[in-house]
Structure 1
């Protein structure tokens, strides 16, 4: 959706992309997540950083649906801390690369045709890990399992090993982590949109239930306790929508939007969890059964607080950015006026 028409994409704006993800999430959170990851991460990464030669090789197959692509960063010891990545990329005498490592919790990992893998390719002059991104064929990986998750069960969350897997570099050596973090900004907007869609769908079910369910001789819509829950749900979701708009506009203008992406992702995911939880509570025992979609939305929404940067990580990004801006304005000791 986000890729320009010149390479075979739809050329949609970030706002259009988010509206599409939100609408899809109203019906299936897992499909919305798969689509968001494919567009923001799996298409966005090579689109922004791959060589022209690699782009010509992979587009338009990635864009027309011929290839499903996975984005493999997370490992047993690397999640919120991307620096914990242990998968290695080794340069061979003939100039090619091979990858070895263990990846975990990879969206659509075992259902994908191709994959983007973040790996350690050496150390810089300060001794810190040097990260690079690679394009690989999924047929070369060794599957371990489809991970059984609480929510988004229609998404193939996967674990696998890489053993001497051939890889083609995406972008310059040592720039993989920078590129990955930049792609995550767009990914977080997709997760925010997914969260809003889940919250909206759950609240719609709850409203219908309030109008039709009778207790103590009257509709439960007449109980103030439930009315207030509904008001809080709507307030949270509208605020989330308001926070999602600025980074979409900034993306269209070519401006950096990392801070705004964290605002949107953090607030929308927590608002969706509150909304789906309240919707389930309003629906009572019926809401907790699989006779209704509310319990699925409740489980799916919980993932949005974890995936593509947990709520705790978003708060770290926000606070550190604000303090860095304050230091630039007032000086590190606050003495500058």
Structure 2
């Protein structure tokens, strides 16, 4: 990835150091990810060694401050790096995004100096991996549905009991940030806190057999009297989690961009090379329009992601912008990947080429880190709240 290959709107948010980093990411993706993507898809596993290599490159601490051991890059560079990786293997890209924005991100935002020194440094270097455990059978976007409990057995020492589902890096992580109910608020609601739990305290249940992103470690695990320590003040877990999800949705949107670009590039090449009825597929107007629609939607998705990255890099609130970007990019990616498969015909439906993998992988982005329906709730609530405030000022 060179300046010439990066669209102008992205360049406005990138420094020379970030452009140099992205060039290294492109080389890493082409040499360390692309040659093994099919094999990892079939084995449904990503080797730990590739995460170690990614850590040495700086991919596991992209936006963390340099003073903490991270790269100190902005969110445009982060999104472009995730996009580049997703073009070759979305499972690896989504694992990296979750580690950066959720696992490491939560500890960076709320952890104390001792936790930063003992744990965060290893996470940013890639010697350790972090998972982030919110989802349960009755809790996901409804974070208030958490049933995992936390009991303070002695001052500063906690035990967790519960079950977590669909946790990215749930079996392979070295530490997990777990959301658990630690009591009740003054209003009688669940008090949700975040806890740091080491791998030895986790009881793995299984790797969930998913439709797409098969190489990603999507897992279930139990917590039975698991030793844990608070991350941040008691009762602040839910608020910090929601802030982390704002960043996480940028990552999911970036994965969507990568999948959509890979699928469109494959469709363009196939349309130029495949002949039917004495013509190239590219000569049929119906397919030309499909390709045009793909490009328009992809550019629109990139523009929305750029809005969110600009605010995130400046440290400004970007809840609605991240939701808008994630909603549109994920749904656009599904449409683009579906069209690409259609353009490939029967060949696209086979596992001989990765187009069907792009199609399967893209579907998760409409569900993970808040479904499309939840994003519409977030967006509409923000719109209505803003309009109500404006009307109140007028009155």
Q: With the length of structure 2 as denominator, give the TM-score of the two structures.
A: 0.83
Aligned counterparts of 1:78 and 1:36: Cα–Cα separation in 2: 21
Counterpart-to-counterpart distance in 2, 1:139 and 1:318? 40
Aligned to 1:12: 73
Aligned position for 2:349: 288
User: In 2 relative to 1, CA 192–230 (structure 1 residues): closer, same or farther, beyond 3 Å?
Assistant: same
Among candidates 307, 313, 316, match of residue 255 of structure 1: 316
Which of 184, 204, 208 is matched with 1:147 structurally? 208
Deviation at 1:273, TM superposition (A): 0.3
Partner Cα separation in structure 1 for residue 65 and residue 275 of structure 2: 52
Aligned position for 1:271: 332
Return the offset for 1:94: 4.4
Residue 293 of structure 2 corresponds to 232
- Aligned twin of 1:29: 90
Aligned-pair CA distance for 1:23: 0.6
| C-alpha displacement of 1:157 | 0.5
C-alpha offsets along residues 85-131 of structure 1, whole Å, 9 cap, x if unaligned?
Answer: 10011111343101000000000100111111000000011100000
Q: Deviations over 1:125-154 (max 9, x none)?
A: 110000000111112111111100000001
Q: Which of 312, 315, 334 pairs up with 2:373?
A: 312
Offset of residue 59 of structure 1: 2.8
3-state secondary structure, aligned to 1:78: coil
* 1:164 counterpart (221, 225, 229): 225
Task: Identify which of 350, 354, 362 aligns with 1:301.
Answer: 362
Question: Which residue in 2 is equivalent to 1:77?
Answer: 138
Distance in 1, matches of 2:322 and 2:114, equals 31
Q: Secondary structure at the match of 1:22?
A: helix
Residue 64 of structure 1 deviates from its aligned partner by 1.1
Q: How does 1:179-190 map to 2 (within 5 A)?
A: 179-190=240-251
SS at match of 2:160: strand
For the residues of structure 2 that align with 1:191 and 1:95, how far apart are their CA atoms? 35
Deviation, 1:41, is 0.8
Structure 1 runs (4+) deviating above 6 angstroms are none
Aligned to 1:121: 182
* Residue matched to 1:324: 385
Partner Cα separation in structure 2 for residue 143 and residue 42 of structure 1: 18
- Unpaired runs of 5+ residues, structure 1, are none
Secondary structure of 1:302's match? helix
CA contact (8 A) 2:90 2:255 kept: yes
Check whether the contact 2:205–2:222 (CA below 8 A) recurs between aligned residues: yes
Which residue of structure 2 aligns with residue 221 of structure 1?
282
Distance 2:155 2:249 in 1: 38
Paired residue secondary structure (1:121): strand
Question: Partner of 2:215: helix, strand, or coil?
Answer: coil
Q: CA deviation at 1:249?
A: 1.1
Aligned to 1:65: 126
Task: Measure the CA separation in 1 of the matches of 2:351 and 2:79.
Answer: 28
Structure richer in helix, relative to its length: 2
Task: State the 1:336 CA deviation.
Answer: 4.3
What is the CA–CA distance in structure 2 between the aligned matches of 1:95 and 1:206, rounded to whole Å? 57
TM norm structure 1 = 0.97
Q: Which runs of 5+ in 2 are unaligned?
A: 1-61
The alignment status of 1:102 with 2:102, answered yes or no, reads: no
Structure-2 residue corresponding to 1:51: 112
